[in-house]
Amino acid sequence: MIDRLCIIGTGLIGGSLARALRAAGYCREIVGSGRSAQHLQQALQLGVIDRYDTDPAQAVAGADMVLVAVPLGAMEPVFAAIRGHLGTDTVLTDAGSAKASVVAAARTAFGEVPKWFVPGHPIAGTEQSGVGASFADLYRGRCVILTPLPGTDPQASARVRAMWEAAGAQVVEMGVAHHDEVLAATSHLPHILAFTLVESLARLQDKQEIFDYAAGGFRDFTRIASSDPVMWRDICLANADAVQDMIERFVGDLLALDHAVAARDGERLLDIFSRAKAARDAFGDGLQAGESDE
């Protein structure tokens, strides 16, 4: 069990973990921290946390587990603020969507990547944000990726794994660079496409009519464009190399499709669509529905 868990960033991700661990009886006390006292008061009123402190250095005092669930651009300042205030047995982990940038932030803030820091990423979320959108079953049956480094304490990794498993998640491990490449393809690019499509259509002269008559496919595909713009700006910047590579690959494929349409090449279009359907049908059952990658 966790005696005292400190969650810095008690929004959808942090709040849902708190709810899950509380429901599982896995944590004796949960302390929240963040910049907004109003949001923290809401988390307290909802029973997500037991108490809070807007000063992260004070909030982590006495905690045996600390989760940092803030936007990627805020990771380094948070790490710097809690440096020197963590206990000798405290395990630190995070929920960032791009691991190389988080590891770099930890290295800058602490002077080196601490052996008790276990980078992590829950592959779960919705297009909603804030502690009011959190719920205990968010991680049930979902994947959490841990990316421990060669110097990471195995016991620290085991404690973080046990925490996420108590929340109902399935935990896997992979390298930092591989994680960022995989997520650029499976999460970051789809969100970019959704944002771009909605923004493009919104600039059309008859945009209201387009959105009025949008069918279910449009709503399903663009749902994730309701996600937090600040968070996704930070993700694109933090994982820029891998994201740019995937955008360039997709643009090349989109141009090939454009050429087929321009040439009225029905056979080529059918080939592209058929291969896409076969691929989607082959792995479709393994997709995690409702994921918006916080």
Residue 180: predicted pLDDT: 96
Q: Could you tell me the fold of the domain covering 179-286?
A: 6-phosphogluconate dehydrogenase C-terminal fold (1.10.3660)
Lowest mean pLDDT among 104-113, 151-160, 207-216, 223-232: 207-216
Residue 54: predicted pLDDT: 96
Residue 287: predicted pLDDT: 52
User: pLDDT tens digits for 261-288?
Assistant: 999 999 999 999 999 999 988 886 555 5
Stronger pLDDT, 92 or 279, i.e. the higher one? 92
Give the amino acid at 68.
V
- CA–CA distances in Å: residue 196 to residues 69, 189, 214, 222, 272: 26, 10, 16, 9, 22
Residue 289: predicted pLDDT: 46
Q: Could you tell me the fold of the domain covering 2-174?
A: Rossmann fold (3.40.50)
User: pLDDT tens digits for 139-174?
Assistant: 999 999 999 999 999 999 999 999 999 999 999 999
Q: Are 132 and 109 in contact (CB under 8 A)?
A: no
Structure token pair of residue 202: 């919104």
Answer yes or no: is pLDDT of 294 > 50: no
Angle between helices 240-262 and 266-283 (to 10 degrees): 140
Residue 57: predicted pLDDT: 97
Stronger pLDDT, 192 or 129, i.e. the higher one? 192
Q: For the residues 70-79, what does the mean pLDDT come to? A: 95
Residue 117: predicted pLDDT: 98
The pLDDT confidence band at residue 129, using thresholds 50, 70 and 90, is confident
What residue spans in the chain does CATH classification 3.40.50.720 cover?
2-174
Distance of CA 153 to the CA centre of its chain: 24
What residue spans in the chain does CATH classification 1.10.3660.10 cover?
179-286
Lowest mean pLDDT among 113-122, 134-143, 199-208, 251-260: 199-208
Residue 286: predicted pLDDT: 56
Rounded CA-CA distance 118/155 in Å is: 10
Rounded CA-CA distance 189/66 in Å is: 30
Residue 290: predicted pLDDT: 43
Rounded CA-CA distance 38/42 in Å is: 6
Q: In whole numbers, what is the pLDDT of the chain averaged over residues?
A: 92
Residue 285: predicted pLDDT: 58
Q: For the residues 36-47, what does the mean pLDDT come to? A: 95
Answer yes or no: is pLDDT of 46 > 90: yes
Answer yes or no: is pLDDT of 127 > 90: no
